[in-house]
Structure 1
């Protein structure tokens, strides 16, 4: 997220605070989550607006064969990532936009700097399918209008065959991936 940056909480303090609870923070780094004989690689990229994002460091060691999801706070960063330079993740998850928060009919939704062209939902024209969550919070004004909060839950499945289709709920299908992810 970005609130740690706004609050002046540095990485060492955040790790000291969250570490005892078993939380591993991903600052331009990768973690592997194992459940039984399945492994999911999660790539975390530092906040592009207030942090120091480094996708080269974050994706180091990836070969493109393992199921992988990228997480980045501000979605506008995704458009600047060269497609040919990194192994394609199954999906990229982002937030930051609050979905526009106050959505007046016939007006373009306001999104904060770092959002780029993204507001909310699935986008299939980036490095990998990108989901931008509206989240549950607000910024500046403690209200939402025509923009309900959301806490998306995704169902992950190992594909039965290499190159299975990533199915996005309500949005049709997206390009090939070794992982299936569906928004419930």
Structure 2
């Protein structure tokens, strides 16, 4: 009996240690990943644009409060971006009763400093809580929210596609919104599963949603998939298109990360090299 209790206590201690480790991983400052991407239709003479991409804030959760978000805003500003793109899921959970708390928690985003602004799209959790309230909070923080809409920012024509995971995408509306814009075309959305639906002239898709697996075990891999496995994380090249999937800042379901740290991307976008 004594040996059994000792084994039980050891297992409990190990479980507590693993939980603490995963929680600290989830609260860590995001890794900064960098890539340079050449885009077709880059306006002649336009300089490259430095874009910071992040997603999945999941505010008012165990792993994301206003203090941590403010610290990340400072980290982003230190990267001196020309443009910040946020690929959805500002909210956490499914409870619309907490939407006001979440909206207040997003106020640090007003501190982002860029030359070309801050642009965002909605994610599934935003639609599951209160998208109107989340939109007002983002607009108060001077974040432009696109939902099957498009804007021009310098040499970029940026389309913000509705979230495919909750069936809010509207490709005809997005194509129509981007039609009058000039320059290199990119699409920002939440779920990367939208990629196969994009027209050929939209060669770059920026997304989040997957948390890069959030819990990725040795030998086994990710515990769950919320998008097609090929879009789980990082940079994917397929059929002439590039998809960039960021691992996000917060967590969902459990406040833990293993093998999939929080991250953000610094993307230097510019013209294709001359032949």
Per the normalisation by structure 2, the TM-score is 0.49
Which residue pairs with 2:213 in the alignment?
100
Which residue pairs with 1:168 in the alignment?
none
Alpha carbons of 1:55 and 1:110: their partners in 2 closer, same or farther (altered >3 Å)?
farther
Q: Across the two proteins, how many residue pairs are aligned to each other?
A: 151
CA contact (8 A) 2:247 2:263 kept: yes
1:116 to 203, 206, 228: 228
What is the CA RMSD across the aligned residues, in angstroms? 2.4
Deviates more, 1:130-139 or 1:104-113: 104-113
Q: Which has the greater radius of gyration?
A: 2
Please list, as runs of the form range in 1=range in 2, the aligned pairs for 1:6-45 lying within 5 A after superposition.
Answer: 6-7=128-129, 9-11=130-132, 13-34=133-154, 39-45=155-161
Q: Give the drift of 1:51.
A: 4.5
Please list, as runs of the form range in 1=range in 2, the aligned pairs for 1:154-169 lying within 5 A after superposition.
Answer: 154-159=267-272, 161=274
Which residue pairs with 1:47 in the alignment?
163
* 1:35-78 Cα distance to aligned partner (Å, 9 max, x none): xxxx2111111111225111221121437962011111111222
Alpha carbons of 1:128 and 1:22: their partners in 2 closer, same or farther (altered >3 Å)?
same
Alpha carbons of 1:14 and 1:75: their partners in 2 closer, same or farther (altered >3 Å)?
same
CA contact (8 A) 2:203 2:240 kept: no
Partners of 2:167 and 2:181 in 1: how far apart? 26
* 1:96-137 Cα distance to aligned partner (Å, 9 max, x none): 110011111111313443x11221011111561001111121
| RCO higher in structure (CA 8 A, sep ≥6) | 2
CA contact (8 A) 2:148 2:171 kept: yes
Alpha carbons of 1:16 and 1:145: their partners in 2 closer, same or farther (altered >3 Å)?
closer
Partners of 1:49 and 1:31 in 2: how far apart? 23
Alpha carbons of 1:70 and 1:47: their partners in 2 closer, same or farther (altered >3 Å)?
same
Please say if 1:72 is aligned against 2:189. yes
Partners of 1:10 and 1:65 in 2: how far apart? 29
Give the match's secondary structure for 1:140: coil
Per the normalisation by structure 1, the TM-score is 0.71
